[in-house]
Amino acid sequence: MRQPQVVVVGAGLAGSLLASLLGQRSINTLVLEARRDPRQHGSQGGRSINLALSTRGRTALARAGLETAVVTDGMPMAARLMHDRHGQLTRQPYAKDERQAILSVGRAQLNATLLDAAAKTPCVEFRFEQKVTGLRDDGKAVLLGDETIESDLIVGADGAGSIIRQTLERIGCCQSVTEPLGHAYKELELPPVNGQHALDPTALHIWPRGGEMAIALPNPDGTFTGTLFFANETFEQLQHEHQARDHMANQYGSMLQHVPDFEKQWSTNPVGFLGTLRANRWHHGHTVLIGDAAHAIVPFYGQGMNAAFEDVRRLDELHAAGTENLPEVLFQERKPNADAIAEMALMNFVEMRDHVGDPMFLSRKALERKLGRWLPKMFTPLYDRVSFSNQPYVDALRHGRRQDQLLRRLQSLGLGR
């Protein structure tokens, strides 16, 4: 390829979708990826096995003509299903219209679909096992060992540990901070029982336990992927498998009974870090950051990938419109939205962990859904705004705060009890 018009660093979820969109518009695009091609060598783990896909992500996929392919592979989840300590279940639909569902999709399959689609377009070249080492100080070329690759646009889609962001920091264009959540995660597979899902496959399951929790999302192969979100100290205390089993038996019996090889999984599956990355600037010269490289968030709203896909869609729209100074324009538009979803993701952690079992919270949610049905034009619950619309996150948060105040007032007047 002669000098590429766009260099994308990272062929993860955001980078591969972007390559597909650019390729479809005949933009010469070079994608540099540090890992081996996951379609040939399998995915290398380290991130969640499945992800919740919602409207923003679907809108970006639709722009690339990929929504149907991805949705067909996904498992619709129309509700949260809460498991209390006594094994009692409470079902809480996600949307005011119960036909609306978020989708559980496999990360490896999704990444492969996106890579295949991009590779079909003749203008996209992938170079795997190519670890970018930095940026030239003017932000107009990527460094790959001894090689310098100039381009009109450089997109850092290289994830939370982004070398592109680190280079922007080194040359004084950006400052970032990663706020650890203080909780980490570990995944467990729940195999099928007699060929069927072990739990209701139409819901996202939650075991809220105040201070910690577990969730499980269905996969099309009949398994569930469970994720434990424990405080860092709890993971440190549960060094031995028998201690972990005791903790699970006390708190998460209805999950543990579906994990026959719990000890093996506990000792083999890694503990993953969770935190919020905030960077005060994402651009310099011809370079801009997107996705986790710019704004990694905690996973409790299921929006990290969806937000990354929204970055991709907006980048492609601005590029197609011939926008001058695209890196800065994209940053100005996306930064407030990234801050808003980061805040909502943290709020949702507290909600899922502590409140979804609380009767006052549940009655407020029920009232919220009723108002949504009675006054659909005036009252859209926050979850619907975030997960079932493309309303900018920053507007969703503003409306959500106002509505929450109203709901609390109505509740204090005795409504919704």
Ligand X SMILES: Cc1cc2nc3c(=O)[nH]c(=O)nc-3n(C[C@H](O)[C@H](O)[C@H](O)COP(=O)(O)OP(=O)(O)OC[C@H]3O[C@@H](n4cnc5c(N)ncnc54)[C@H](O)[C@@H]3O)c2cc1C
- Candidates 6, 19, 30, 52; binder of ligand X (CB under 6 A) is 52
Indicate whether 30 belongs to the interface with ligand X (CB under 6 A).
no
Least Cβ distance, residue 75 to ligand X (angstroms) = 12
Indicate whether 101 belongs to the interface with ligand X (CB under 6 A).
no
- Candidates 24, 29, 121, 306; binder of ligand X (CB under 6 A) is 306
Q: How many residues bind ligand X (CB under 6 A)?
A: 34
Indicate whether 9 belongs to the interface with ligand X (CB under 6 A).
yes
User: Which residues 111-150 are close enough to bind ligand X by CB under 6 A?
Assistant: 131-132
By beta-carbon proximity to ligand X, the closer residue of 14 and 79 is 14
By beta-carbon proximity to ligand X, the closer residue of 303 and 403 is 303
Indicate whether 206 belongs to the interface with ligand X (CB under 6 A).
no
- Candidates 74, 285, 302, 416; binder of ligand X (CB under 6 A) is 302
Three-class secondary structure assignment of the chain = CCCCCEEEECCCHHHHHHHHHHHHCCCCEEEECCCCCHHHHCCCCCCCCEEEECHHHHHHHHHCCCHHHHHHCCEEECEEEEECCCCCEEEEECCCCCCCCEEEEEHHHHHHHHHHHHHHCCCEEEECCCCCCEECCCCCEEEECCEEEECCEEEECCCCCCHHHHHHHHCCCCCEEEEEEEEEEEEEEECCECCECCCCCCEEEEEECCCCEEEEEECCCCCEEEEEEEEHHHHHHCCCHHHHHHHHHHHCHHHHCCCCCHHHHHHHCCCEEEEEEEECCCEECCEEECCHHHHCCCHHHCCHHHHHHHHHHHHHHHHHCCCCCHHHHHHHHHHHHHHHHHHHHHHHHHHHHHHCCCHHHHHHHHHHHHHHHHCCCCCCCHHHHHHCCCCCHHHHHHHHHHHHHHHHHHHHCCCCC
By beta-carbon proximity to ligand X, the closer residue of 131 and 409 is 131
Q: Which residue is nearest to ligand X (CB)?
A: 12
Least Cβ distance, residue 16 to ligand X (angstroms) = 8
Indicate whether 357 belongs to the interface with ligand X (CB under 6 A).
no
Indicate whether 13 belongs to the interface with ligand X (CB under 6 A).
yes
The residue range among 158-166, 256-264, 353-361, 397-405 that interacts with ligand X, by the rule CB under 6 A, is 158-166
User: Which residues 163-182 are close enough to bind ligand X by CB under 6 A?
Assistant: 163
- Candidates 304, 357, 400, 416; binder of ligand X (CB under 6 A) is 304
- Candidates 6, 14, 118, 371; binder of ligand X (CB under 6 A) is 14
Cβ-based neighbours of 384, under 8 Å, separated by 6 or more: 94, 95, 96, 100, 372
Indicate whether 244 belongs to the interface with ligand X (CB under 6 A).
no
Indicate whether 299 belongs to the interface with ligand X (CB under 6 A).
yes
Indicate whether 32 belongs to the interface with ligand X (CB under 6 A).
yes
Least Cβ distance, residue 416 to ligand X (angstroms) = 29
- The contact mask relative to ligand X for 319-348 (x = CB under 6 A, - = no) is ------------------------------
Least Cβ distance, residue 250 to ligand X (angstroms) = 24
